[in-house]
Structure 1
Amino acid sequence: MTGLLDKSSSSYAFLNMIFDTGFYFMPVFIGFSSTKMFGCNQYMGAFIDLAMVHPTWVAMVSKGTPVDFFGIPIMLAKYSSTIVPVLLSVWIMSYIERVVKRITPAIVKIFVEPMLVALISVPLALICIGPVGNVISQAIADGSMFVYGLLGSFALAVLAALYPWLVSIGMHKALSPISIMLVAQQGFDPVIRVVALCSNMAQAAAAMAVA
């Protein structure tokens, strides 16, 4: 935009890599953090999500050739920068882990338990849970864009007016995943970030007016 860096230069690529790292591997951070809520092993949560963004899987998705797991077809889907597929996968994994803990003998628990959890959870995540999560994510993003397209600035004004009350009860955090999904799928967020900025600027102007 400013012309300070050539987009084809290695410096631009390096800076873009730094910016994109957190966004690309966001499922891993979310998976690790969500285990606290679901009451399961943090490292297994991160492991499941790392498998969903593994270079081998990414290469399969990019290639586009149909793949299967022992005859079960797998939907090729990209899981980097996603939220819903990750949360669903870790949630289901938490139940799998509890069952495995109960049936695994104590003498071999240290290595058999994580192995069984991984062998069950990863295929399940890629075959079933991930695709369902992607459909939900797409529906949320499409729904947000539909409301924005239908009501336009009026919808933004109403949401911006309600935003301070959402902040006061902590519900504004529920809008953050929608913003991230919009950026991941549309490349930009014309709704949530605009609403937050307008609301904050309005409050700042009101505070300055009465100061």
Structure 2
Amino acid sequence: MNHVEFSKEILILVGGEKNVSNFTHCITRLRFNVKDKSIVKAEDINKIKGVMGSQWQGEQFQVIVGAESDKLYSTLCKIGNFENSAKINTNLDQDLVKRGKWSWKSLGYKALNYLSPMMTSVIPLMVAGSLCKVIAYLLGPDFLKVIAADNGLYVMLNLMYDAFFYFLPVFLGYVAGKVLNYNPIYGIYLGTLIIVPGFINLVGVQNSLVVLGMSFPIISYSNSFLPVLLGGLVCKYILGFLENHIPSSAKALLIPLLTVLIMAPVMLGICAPLGTYIGNYLGNIFMYLSSANSFSRIIGATLITIAWPFIILLGMHGGLSAFAMSMMNDYGYDPFLFNTAYVANVAVFGIALGVALKLKSKENKSLTLNYFFTCILGGVTEPILYGVLIKYKKSILGLISSCAVGGFLCGIFVPKLYVYTSTSVLGIWACWMNQEDPRNTVIGNTILLITFIVSVAVTYLVKDNEDA
């Protein structure tokens, strides 16, 4: 692909530099906010070699280009004199939902717009911390016995894991401020407020803290995520109200002071207990599904596995990962949601290899293999979903059939996901590891392998008119 020529052609067809009010990108798409939608020539853009498709999301025009998005974005920024900013970490943007009449649908989209960037922002560190725990387990006294429990390396690896999960509310508080466009230092404060040692030391000692006649429950909120998400939303409106009603001369002093005085009881008395209750309730739903009668469990696991790739296409996977994290925090493992998601990702990897094996065109074969290796090494599925599934439409038969097989097996054997790892080939095998349940590792990885084989085989055997 000639990035310069490609970028020039795209820019002309979206109406030129003057028609673009904002330009961003994500892992697979170039995203244009335009002034005049009528002059964007979407059909002509779709005909450009290298474009996998395009779509409107609200007022934003998205051009799907797969793994080339980073390079094309940089080239377009130079050609169009656009500001070059970091790629966004979600398939949902705040401008995708128009402001207008309230509806449950718009509320759901806005919730996902908030949850998705929150969770996708912390997932890289979450995966890194989890892999440190896996390395400690593999080398430690419970497995290979290379290092003892008091060895400095073993201690350090466990500290690297704890540093993320214990202080998760602090990380989420920072991201909440960034996502909601207020000073993230306030979000950090909300996170520290519920895990400060003086509060944590009261857990198990007394049931509540009484302040001026108000009773605040004493619960451990380390590793939690919903309390800060709820508190972050409240904080946004508190800050906005204070900004609009306090004289400029007193803002520097009164806004921080009043925010702290208001948010402390709101967090400890409302957001933190409510967030914990909601998280437990949602976690119990998935726990129920994992332990339900065989028929319900198998049907549920199969349907979720089949749906997961399409949930990614809709950009909803970031928000759902929050509920999986809730189960990990409460029970120490995820018995249902993310184990099916990992199986579905492996099915997506398989369709790329299956398509590549049957393609006759060297150019198309090379491009599809590029998607395959990019995804299995990077642990992402979007390039395959947009670059392979949409282009070679019959590959959906391989995807659905392998997801059904993998989900069916998850419903029968119910493997538990103990560690969040990357879904790349380098880390996905370790997600099932637990020294007290070695059988779980074998079951989980066997299901992954069977799912991948079925995906490759079915995709390869299905005849496609576009396998040239």
Question: Which residue in 1 is equivalent to 2:255?
Answer: 113
Larger Rg: 2
Q: Unaligned 5+ residue runs, structure 2?
A: 1-141, 358-468
Question: Which residue in 2 is equivalent to 1:209?
Answer: 354
Question: Which residue in 2 is equivalent to 1:162?
Answer: 307
Question: Which residue in 2 is equivalent to 1:145?
Answer: 287
C-alpha distance in 1, partners of 2:240/2:318? 29
Q: Is the 8 A contact 2:216 2:268 kept in 1?
A: yes
Question: Which residue in 2 is equivalent to 1:200?
Answer: 345
C-alpha distance in 2, partners of 1:120/1:79? 19
CA-CA distance at 1:180 after TM superposition:
0.8
Q: Is the 8 A contact 2:169 2:222 kept in 1?
A: yes
- Decide whether aligned partners of structure 1 residues 209 and 38 sit closer, same or farther in structure 2, where only a CA change above 3 A counts: closer
Q: Is the 8 A contact 2:324 2:334 kept in 1?
A: yes
- Decide whether aligned partners of structure 1 residues 178 and 5 sit closer, same or farther in structure 2, where only a CA change above 3 A counts: farther
Whether 1:5 aligns to 2:147 is: yes
Q: What's the CA shift string for 1:172-200, capped at 9, x where partnerless?
A: 11221011111100101122221122112
CA-CA distance at 1:76 after TM superposition:
1.0
C-alpha distance in 1, partners of 2:149/2:211? 40
C-alpha distance in 1, partners of 2:298/2:158? 32
C-alpha distance in 1, partners of 2:285/2:178? 30
Question: Which residue in 1 is equivalent to 2:193?
Answer: 51
C-alpha distance in 2, partners of 1:75/1:187? 23
Question: Which residue in 1 is equivalent to 2:446?
Answer: none
Which runs of structure 2 are paired with 1:93-132 in the superposition (5 Å)? 93-132=235-274
Q: Which moved more, 1:148-157 or 1:72-81?
A: 148-157
C-alpha distance in 1, partners of 2:318/2:173? 17
Question: If each structure's helix is expressed as a fraction of its own residues, which one has the higher value?
Answer: 1
Structure 2 counterpart of 1:160, which letter? T
Q: Which moved more, 1:146-155 or 1:14-23?
A: 146-155
Instruction: Give the match's secondary structure for 1:67.
Output: strand
Whether 1:188 aligns to 2:336 is: no
Whether 1:40 aligns to 2:185 is: no
Instruction: Give the match's secondary structure for 2:251.
Output: helix
Q: What's the CA shift string for 1:114-166, capped at 9, x where partnerless?
A: 11101110121101221111111100111111122223343222111111111
C-alpha distance in 2, partners of 1:54/1:200? 38
Question: Which residue in 2 is equivalent to 1:68?
Answer: 210
Instruction: Give the match's secondary structure for 2:210.
Output: strand
TM-score, normalising length: structure 1: 0.91
C-alpha distance in 2, partners of 1:142/1:8? 37
CA-CA distance at 1:65 after TM superposition:
5.0
CA-CA distance at 1:5 after TM superposition:
3.4
Question: Which residue in 2 is equivalent to 1:20?
Answer: 162
C-alpha distance in 2, partners of 1:133/1:86? 8
Q: Is the 8 A contact 2:207 2:217 kept in 1?
A: no
Structure 2 counterpart of 1:184, which letter? N
Q: Name which structure has the greater RCO, CA cutoff 8 Å, separation 6+.
A: 1
C-alpha distance in 1, partners of 2:350/2:236? 47
Q: What is the root-mean-square deviation in Å for CA atoms of aligned residues? A: 1.8
- Decide whether aligned partners of structure 1 residues 101 and 203 sit closer, same or farther in structure 2, where only a CA change above 3 A counts: closer
C-alpha distance in 2, partners of 1:99/1:199? 45
